[in-house]
Amino acid sequence: MSFDNSISLSAKNRVERGKNASRRLRADNLVPVTVYGGGQDAISATVTKRDFAALIRHHGRNVIFTLDVEGAAAPVKIADVQIDPIKGFLVHADLMRISLTEKAKFDVPIKIVGEADGVKNFGGILDVPTHTLEIRCLPTDIPAVIEVDVTSLGLGAHLSVKDLKLGDKIELLDDPETVLATVVSPKAEEPVEGAATAEPEVIKKGKGEDEKK
């Protein structure tokens, strides 16, 4: 996910604003975007819906790419994407300029590696409650994924953020105690509903000789 200058997107300056203007842009298969950050004024622009959707589809939302707005090019990342909740089309996107020489925050997905010992040999179940981590680093040092090796995890054991070793170039910002993966015991087998249960035997005492008549 580090910066690749071969990934680029062309844009055009946008003058018209408002819902009607946005509706016309979408009719022309364009997506309105706002570009900000980098110590420069925010600008409004448009990108081709097909090209923008292809970029997200092939590289994900964390990709850093070159945005060329009518000859003014800068590395950017996708800060936010608004999608129509009913029809599912792209409504608007916020793009943030990125300095290649300054550290910034990024969200990186976790990738589980290996088969946990507690799963393989003891029938446990691997639970992965965390799926992304927030890091701070240079754009050129962003990993595509953060690998979490669970091979040595036994039954009842877990791995936390503090167990990760990512080197000096990457700073982990999540709580060190955040659990990344754990192996839990399978649920105890529950009794089948309606199954007959044994009742204690009741020994009835017969009448004594003195009660007989």
Specify whether the CB–CB gap between 73 and 111 falls below 8 A: no
* Contacts of residue 95, Cβ cutoff 8 Å, sequence gap at least 6: 33, 34, 35, 36, 67, 76, 77, 78, 79
* 81 vs 36: CA distance, rounded Å: 14
Mean pLDDT per 10-residue interval, the chain, length 213 residues: 78 81 82 91 94 91 90 92 86 92 90 96 95 93 92 96 95 97 76 47 48 48
How far the first Cα of the chain sits from its last, in Å, is 99
Assign domain 8-97 to its CATH architecture: Beta Barrel (2.40)
> Is beta strand 132-137 parallel, antiparallel or unpaired with respect to 171-172?
antiparallel
* 149 vs 151: CA distance, rounded Å: 6
* 156 vs 39: CA distance, rounded Å: 49
What is residue 209's DSSP assignment? G
* Matching CATH number, 104-184, of 1.20.1250.20, 2.170.120.20, 2.40.420.20, 3.40.50.1360: 2.170.120.20
pLDDT of residue 22: 74
* Contacts of residue 181, Cβ cutoff 8 Å, sequence gap at least 6: 112, 116, 126, 127, 128, 129, 130, 148, 150, 153, 158, 159
How many other CB atoms sit within 10 Å of the CB of residue 71? 6
pTM comes to: 0.69
pLDDT of residue 117: 96
Residue ranges per domain, the chain?
A: 8-97, 104-184
Specify whether the CB–CB gap between 82 and 88 falls below 8 A: no
Q: What are phi and psi of 174, to 5 degrees?
A: -75, 160
How many other CB atoms sit within 10 Å of the CB of residue 181? 21
pLDDT of residue 41: 92
pLDDT of residue 5: 74
38-to-3, 35, 99, 122 alpha-carbon distances in Å? 16, 10, 7, 53
